[in-house]
Structure 1
Amino acid sequence: MSTRPSPTTDALFRRALQHIEDWEQSWGAFDRHDALGVDPDRLDSVFDEYLERLEGNYPFHHPRYAGQMLKPPHPVACAAYAAAQRINPNNHALDGGPPTSHMETEVVADLAGMLGLPEASLGHLTGGGTVANLEALWVARELYPDQALAVAENAHYTHGRMSDVLDVEVVPVSADARGRMDLHSLEQTLEQGGIGTVVLTAGTTGLGAVDPIHDALPLCRAHDARVHVDAAYGGFFRLLTEDAAPKIEGFPAERFRAIEDADSVAIDPHKHGLQPYGCGCILFRDPAVGRFYQHDSPYTYFTSDDLHLGEISLECSRAGAAAGALWCTLKALPLAPDDGLGPILAACVRAARTWTDAVADTDALRVVAPPETDIVSYVPATPEASLSAVHEASQALFDAAMNDPDAPIFTSVYRLSADALTTLDPSLRADRDEAAVLRSVLMKPEHETYAADLVDRLATTAQSLDSAAT
Structure 2
Amino acid sequence: MSDKTVSAGAYFLGPKSENASWLRSEFQAVLDRWFDWRRALFADDPSPLPEQVRLSPDFLAEREIMAQRVRELTELMAGEVPKYTPRYIGHMVSELSVPALLGHFATLLHNPNNTSRDVARVSGRVEDEAIAMLAGMVGYDPAAAQGHFTSGGTLANFEGVWRARYRMDHCLSLGLCIAERSGKPLDPVASAHMDWSRFSELAAAHDISEAKLRAASSVLGNPFEIAARISEASGRDWRGPVLLVPGNKHFSWLKAANVFGLGEEAFWPVALDAQGRLSLPALNAAIARAHSDGRPVLAVISVAGTTEAGEIDPVDAVCDRLDEYRQSGLHIWHHVDAAWGGFLCAMLGGDAEDRLEAGARSALKAIRRANSVTLDPHKLGYVPYSCGAFLVRDRDSYANSLFAAPYIDRAAANDRWMMTLEGSRSGAGAAAVWLTGKTLTFGPDRFGRIMAGTIDSRVFFSRALRDGNPLVRLLEPADSNIVCFSLARPGDTLSEANARTARAFAGFVPDPAFSVSRTVLAAENYGEMINTHVVGYDGVVDAPTLVLIRCVFMNPFWENEDFRAALMPEFLARLETHIN
TM-score when normalising by structure 1: 0.92
Match of 1:212 in 2: 314
Say whether 1:259 aligns with 2:390: no
Do 1:348 and 1:445's aligned partners in 2 also have CA atoms closer than 8 Å?
yes
1:132-151 correspondence runs (5 A): 132-145=156-169, 146-151=240-245
The match for 1:436 is 547
1:385 maps to 2:492: yes
How many Å apart are 1:293 and its aligned residue? 4.1
**Structure 1 contact 148–170 (Cα < 8 Å) conserved:** yes
Cα distance, 1:297 vs structure 2? 1.6
Shift of 1:244: 4.1
Secondary structure in structure 1 of the residue aligned to 2:556 = coil
Tell me the residue number matched to 2:23.
Answer: 9
Q: Corresponding residue for 2:519?
A: 414
Q: Aligned partners of 1:302, 1:459: CA distance in 2, in Å?
A: 60
Q: How much has 1:249 moved relative to structure 2?
A: 5.5
Alignment pair present for 1:360 and 2:466 = yes
2:280 aligned partner: 183
* Structure 2 unaligned blocks of 5 or more: 12-18, 170-239
Partners in 2 of 1:214 and 1:152 — Cα distance?
A: 15
SS at match of 2:109: helix
The structure whose residues are more often strand, as a share, is 1
Q: Secondary structure at the match of 1:425?
A: helix
**Equivalent in 445, 453, 457 of residue 347 of structure 1:** 453
TM-superposed CA distance for 1:417, in Å, is 2.8
- Aligned sequence identity (%): 29
Q: CA deviation at 1:48?
A: 2.9
Larger Rg: 2
The answer on whether the counterparts of 1:190 and 1:220 sit within 8 Å (CA) in structure 2 is no
Unaligned stretches of 5+ residues in structure 1: none
Q: Post-superposition shift, 1:60?
A: 0.3
Change in Cα spacing, 1:462 to 1:245, as seen in structure 2 (3 Å) is: closer
Distance 2:509 2:344 in 1: 29
Q: 1:228 to 1:291 in 2, by over 3 A?
A: closer
Aligned to 1:229: 336
Does the C-alpha gap of structure 1 residues 153 and 397 become closer, same or farther in structure 2, counting only changes over 3 Å? same
Change in 2 beyond 3 A, CA 1:423/1:366:
closer
Q: Is the 8 A contact 1:355 1:452 kept in 2?
A: no
Shift of 1:120: 1.1
Task: Find the residue that maps to 2:352 and give its secondary structure.
Answer: coil
Contact 2:368 2:393 in 1 (8 A): no
Change (3 A) 1:453 1:170: farther
Contact 2:350/2:445 (8 A) holds in 1: no
1:59 deviation in Å? 1.1
CA distance in structure 2 between the partners assigned to 1:32 and 1:428 by the alignment: 75
Q: Report the residue type matching 1:10 in the other structure.
A: R
Deviation of residue 415 (structure 1)?
Answer: 0.4
The AA in structure 2 aligned to 1:423 is T
Instruction: Work out whether 1:159 is the aligned partner of 2:272.
Output: no
State which drifts further: 46-55 or 454-463. 454-463
Q: Secondary structure at the residue paired with 1:438? A: strand
Q: Is residue 73 of structure 1 aligned with residue 90 of structure 2?
A: no
More helix by share: 2
Which range moved further: 319-328 or 330-339?
319-328
Instruction: Quote how far apart the aligned CAs of 1:294 are.
Output: 3.0
Amino acid at match of 2:462: T
1:196 aligned to 2:298? yes
Equivalent residues of 2:484, 2:550 under 8 A apart: yes
| Corresponding position of 1:129 | 153
1:248 maps to 2:361: no
Q: Tell me the equivalent position of 1:423.
A: 532
RMSD: 2.4
Residue 89 of structure 1: SS of its match in structure 2? coil
Deviates more, 1:176-185 or 1:240-249: 240-249
Counterpart residue number, 1:20: 34
Distance 2:577 2:115 in 1: 56
Q: Is the 8 A contact 1:178 1:207 kept in 2?
A: no
* Per-residue Cα deviation, 1:293-346 (whole angstroms, up to 9, x for no partner): 433321111554x3422232121111112222221121111111012x111111
Once the two structures are TM-superposed, the CA of residue 142 in structure 1 deviates from its matched residue by: 1.8
Between 252-261 and 46-55, report the one with greater CA deviation: 46-55
C-alpha contact 1:136 1:264 (8 A) present in aligned 2? yes
Shift of 1:241: 2.3
The DSSP-based 3-state class of the residue aligned with 1:292 is: coil
Cα pair 1:390 1:437 within 8 Å, conserved: no
CA contact (8 A) 1:77 1:326 kept: yes
Residues in 2 aligned to 1:435 and 1:200: alpha-carbon distance in whole angstroms:
23
Shift in alpha-carbon separation, 1:246–1:198, aligned structure 2, 3 A: closer
Q: Name the SS of the counterpart of 1:415 in structure 2.
A: strand
Contact map agreement 1:364 1:462 (CA 8 A) in 2? no
Is contact 2:495-2:542 (8 Å) kept? yes
Q: How many residues align structurally? A: 463
1:372 and 2:479 correspond: yes
Counterpart residue identity of residue 347, structure 1: G
Confirm or deny: 8 A CA contact 2:166 2:401 kept in the other structure: no
Q: Deviations over 1:28-65 (max 9, x none)?
A: 3632599x978234323322332222123211000000
Shift of 1:460: 2.2
Match of 2:418?
Answer: 311
Verify the 8 A CA contact 1:67 1:412 in the aligned structure 2.
Answer: yes
Q: Does 1:31 align with 2:136?
A: no
Q: Which secondary structure state, in structure 2, belongs to the residue aligned with residue 95 of structure 1?
A: coil
Determine which of 549, 554, 557 is the counterpart of 1:446. 557
Name the CA distance, whole Å, in 2 between partners of 1:284 and 1:272.
Answer: 20
Distance 1:417 1:361 in 2: 28
Aligned equivalents of 1:288 and 1:32: distance in 2? 52
Alpha carbons of 1:448 and 1:431: their partners in 2 closer, same or farther (altered >3 Å)? same
Aligned partners of 1:249, 1:123: CA distance in 2, in Å? 27
Post-superposition offset of 1:428: 2.1
CA contact (8 A) 1:382 1:389 kept: no
CA-CA distance at 1:289 after TM superposition: 4.1
Aligned counterparts of 1:388 and 1:451: Cα–Cα separation in 2: 33
* Paired residue type of 1:178: Q
